[in-house]
Structure 1
Amino acid sequence: MDGLGLGEGDGPLPGPTAGPDDLAYVMFTSGTTGEPKPVGVTHRGVTGLALGGGELLLGPEDGTLLHSTLAFDASTFEIWNALLVGARVVAVPHHPQALHELAAELSRPEVTTAWLTAAVFHLMAAHHPAALGTLRRLAVGGDVVLPDVADAFVAAHPGTALVNGYGPTENTTFSTLGPVAGRDRSLSASLPIGFAHPGTSCYVLDERLDAVADGQPGELFVGGSRLARGYLGRPAATADRFLPDPFTTSPGSRMYRTGDRVRLLTSGALEFLGRTDDEVKVRGFRVDPAEAQAALAADPQVLDAAVLADRTEEGAVLVAFVTPAGLDTAALRERVGRSVPRHLVAERIVALDALPLGPTGKVDRRALRELLPSAAGPGPEGPPERAAALPYPELADSWQRHTGVVPGPDSDFFADGGSSLALMRVVEDVRTRLGVELDFAEVYALESYTEMAGLIADRLGAEAAA
């Protein structure tokens, strides 16, 4: 204790020096100009999230699973909702993880509460539902949650309180929460994002910032005590998104323009209808394709770039089109990945002679969208005989199903169009079809099909020797 300066005679410990409205942290979120914006979150926002009550109020007997990166605002919930009430934080050994690795962590008896992105929840519910069923409460969100998957899980695991959560970083992680159990399915075909979380006010407004009639679509604005201070050093961006709140008499109150379209159901819950701009959720992160495009355009070997969001069974993925045609796209992805977060690196990069242009000289994004993998037709890319001589046809089949490309010995999973979530599916296929459990972090670092097959061979050889 003496080495920490807490020995006898040192006097009382210093009291807190920060106030409720001082900054607790700064977290970057996407910007429409291609430049990320620094969101300044206050201590009041964090304590309000953790202690304000509602569906995710924990107790000392609880434990949250910390598996989100600290650059993702879900970590605010995973850490402080636990620590501020004397509960446990159970940290995973590394990130990201294969499904069977995540299932093992969720099944630990000290873990009672967890948060998963919608895409990971869908995969876990399909392959390891029993691990989720050990939890007292499970929050899901970050993107649209499939109602059939959620309803089936609730029916099979009534002891786990499944909650659909929604909220921008600018309002400290969660703005609305909606229990899945007991919802009225006749009111909405989709899964509602729920009701205002304590400390948040929700307004559904039109273009003139007037309230729309219940049941009518409008843009969601959120207010209350957990709003961020704004974008640090960006007064114009702050003024554009953080507006005076005309619906409260509290002086200085503001509301945040989310850019999300919603409608209010007769139950009082909100239904998500989509975005008013180009932002998408990629692995739970809010991303403007312009930001990923700017990262590519900054590379000295890229002459021109355009990025679109493509919808797959894993959720939204970014697909980039760059010029010139001779670019080494695998090397380009690696270079860009050294300068921006992983979720801003396009999952697939297509090199073209030139980007298609419309009559006004602007990039013809409709023409580019016809080149997206999801629009390319049912046939896989590449000659099928290329995979015939590869070891482990089960791996080749899974690779092809989740990338749309027939692999060769030197194929790179991500260069072929695979995503992190698709790789989770491949690792799960290897586990179920070949009986080999692979470490996701180790597989993630591999550069070719041959390396992945070699890793499988090593595991099978070790098991045979044992």
Structure 2
Amino acid sequence: MPKLLQDYASRQAELRPNAVAVTLGRSSLTYGELETTSSQLAWRLREAGCRRGDRICLLIPKSPAAIVAMLGVIKADAAYIPVDLASPPARLAPMIRISEPWGALVSADTVMLLDDILKEIGEHSLKIGSIERCRLEGRLFASCFDMSEVDTYPSDPPEYENTADDIAHILFTSGSTGVPKGVPITHRNVIAFVEWARNYFRLEPGDRISGHTALHFDLSTFDVYGTLSAGAELHMVPPQLNLLPHGLAEFIRSNGLTQWFSVPSVLNFMAKHDVVMQNDFPTLKRMLWCGEVLPTPTLIHFMQRLPHVRFTNLYGPTEATIASSYYTVPECPRDALTPIPIGTACAGEELLVLDAHLNEVPPGEIGDLYIRGAGLSPGYWKDPEKTAAAFLPYPGASNPKDRIYKTGDLARRGEDGLIYFVGRADTQIKSRGYRIDLGEVEAAFHSLECLEECAVVALPTDGFEGNTICCAYVPRQGQSVSPPYLRRQASRLLPSYALPTRWLAMERLPKNANGKIDRPLLRNLFRHDTSAET
């Protein structure tokens, strides 16, 4: 087992230096090139003053150069912070400020963004490096080195001081108060999942793996290091294809992908536009999803068309590193309302369904879902209060490092021993005196053929209702869909008290930077759109 994440790349550079490691469009790097360039960058960062434990922000679009930057930073014993390039500077500035980075690496595409962030931050002492082969300058900064200067540095990496318990990167995840939380992830955290996943999915040098999500999203951690661990090829998906379902399908075909990994909303998009043909994607071996519930009708759509593909549901929050449980679907579901379990804990992990007193609840009963094991982050960056609230001592443990993480999700253990996701604790609402799970309501609407996309949210009220149930929907192309029609169709699947009372037809549901449905934005739209009534 490797000691540090960069050992994956170094090992593959020894075994297969001329094999392609990562590609995007016409840009690609072999394992030998990736190893040499990232090592030279590490030497340059060290010479510039970067030391063990320092943090470096990456303002670099998804590209082979970004992988060089990631490896170069960790080879310098530092930790990288991938920046969400789609977020506004006013949102990014607090994240960067709290991270207290030593420096940043910038590309030609992000000079203006860095300028705007620095304007928000004010006075700073960041060392700025250019990932281009020329020095970059903005209104408020000038880079102190560029990649044309690293060629003279050694091709072997500097000697490391880091251990597996040092931080490899910090990811920012949305907080309930709207202030993003920094989640530090150690080398050991990532390696624990990657080692399990490489063995379970049988990753090998011949694999051609998708890189769909942005690099600030935790799913990309598996894309990158899973690929490097196996000596496979990482095929980065151009961001412009995200809104082109036919383009995504063609990307899988033309690149001969063997593994696809994305959030479910991407698969919904492809299914609703019917872009997958019978027995399509002949090289594809695995289709994985994580981050949201995949509607069962979408799963049926893919399993019927791709009988040669293995389908696996992964579950896990950012705080537990990529995923903590898995369920490989044994056969195509017969019922569109059949729930898909989140399954069984990955090696080194444990899923616990507990009551308010942290006692295990009996099978079949709903409780709070906790995670224990190798993937747990050390806690929230510079926020001991939030850390103490979410990362709790394991009941009865004598070792203070034995902790459990409260996911904020509700779950139950089935009679089959598998764990079933029930919903977010904050999506269990009361309306007109009834307890309602919004996920169940949404699943009913996903089963309707007339809809391309839908999302169900709730707004609190001061009246008897307690909460108003709201449904945003996108009709399928060529379909005439009205709220009364949707109510009639859904009433065959839901009790009357669970039917939405406010509706909003849209051309496309809003998505956040991670590709998930932006539910806070939807709630705001309903809050301010008084016409969204039946």
Where does residue 140 of structure 1 map in the other structure?
289
Per the alignment, in what secondary structure is the counterpart of residue 129 of structure 1?
Answer: coil
* 1:71 aligns with one of 203, 216, 226: 216
Shift of 1:401: 6.1
> Please, what is the CA RMSD of the aligned residues?
3.9
Distance 2:428 2:188 in 1: 28
Distance 1:233 1:56 in 2: 36
Stretches of structure 1 lacking an aligned partner (at least 5 in a row): 281-308, 321-355, 381-393, 405-414, 423-466
* 2:341 aligns with one of 186, 192, 195: 192
Distance 1:174 1:255 in 2: 15
> Are 2:236 and 1:91 aligned?
yes
Where does residue 351 of structure 2 map in the other structure?
202
Work out whether residues 245 and 254 of structure 1, in 8 Å CA contact, stay in contact via their aligned partners in 2. yes
Work out whether residues 256 and 284 of structure 2, in 8 Å CA contact, stay in contact via their aligned partners in 1. no
Where does residue 181 of structure 2 map in the other structure?
37
Distance 1:212 1:184 in 2: 28
Shift of 1:182: 4.2
Amino acid at match of 1:112: T
Work out whether residues 178 and 192 of structure 1, in 8 Å CA contact, stay in contact via their aligned partners in 2. yes
Distance 1:270 1:279 in 2: 18
Distance 2:238 2:155 in 1: 37
Decide whether aligned partners of structure 1 residues 13 and 133 sit closer, same or farther in structure 2, where only a CA change above 3 A counts. Answer: closer
* 1:264 aligns with one of 410, 413, 423: 413
Work out whether residues 204 and 262 of structure 1, in 8 Å CA contact, stay in contact via their aligned partners in 2. yes
Stretches of structure 2 lacking an aligned partner (at least 5 in a row): 1-36, 41-147, 430-440, 447-452, 485-503, 512-534
Higher RCO (C-alpha 8 Å, min separation 6): 1
Shift of 1:231: 0.7
Amino acid at match of 1:115: F
Distance 1:359 1:76 in 2: 46
- Counting matched residue pairs gives 323
Per the alignment, in what secondary structure is the counterpart of residue 115 of structure 1?
Answer: strand
Decide whether aligned partners of structure 1 residues 13 and 140 sit closer, same or farther in structure 2, where only a CA change above 3 A counts. Answer: closer
Amino acid at match of 1:193: I
Per the alignment, in what secondary structure is the counterpart of residue 277 of structure 1?
Answer: helix
Decide whether aligned partners of structure 1 residues 269 and 315 sit closer, same or farther in structure 2, where only a CA change above 3 A counts. Answer: farther
Shift of 1:145: 1.8
* 1:115 aligns with one of 239, 258, 261: 261
Decide whether aligned partners of structure 1 residues 235 and 58 sit closer, same or farther in structure 2, where only a CA change above 3 A counts. Answer: same
Distance 1:143 1:402 in 2: 27
Distance 2:377 2:311 in 1: 27
Per the alignment, in what secondary structure is the counterpart of residue 246 of structure 2?
Answer: helix
Where does residue 373 of structure 2 map in the other structure?
224
Where does residue 214 of structure 1 map in the other structure?
363
Amino acid at match of 2:357: R
Amino acid at match of 1:51: E
Where does residue 390 of structure 2 map in the other structure?
241
| TM-score, reference length from structure 1 | 0.60
* 2:455 aligns with one of 302, 311, 316: 316
Per the alignment, in what secondary structure is the counterpart of residue 143 of structure 1?
Answer: coil
Q: Percent identity?
A: 30
- CA offset digits 1:309-360 (Å, max 9, x no partner): 999752437799xxxxxxxxxxxxxxxxxxxxxxxxxxxxxxxxxxx97379
* 2:508 aligns with one of 419, 426, 430: 419
Distance 1:416 1:218 in 2: 34
Shift of 1:119: 2.4
Per the alignment, in what secondary structure is the counterpart of residue 223 of structure 1?
Answer: strand
Shift of 1:196: 0.6
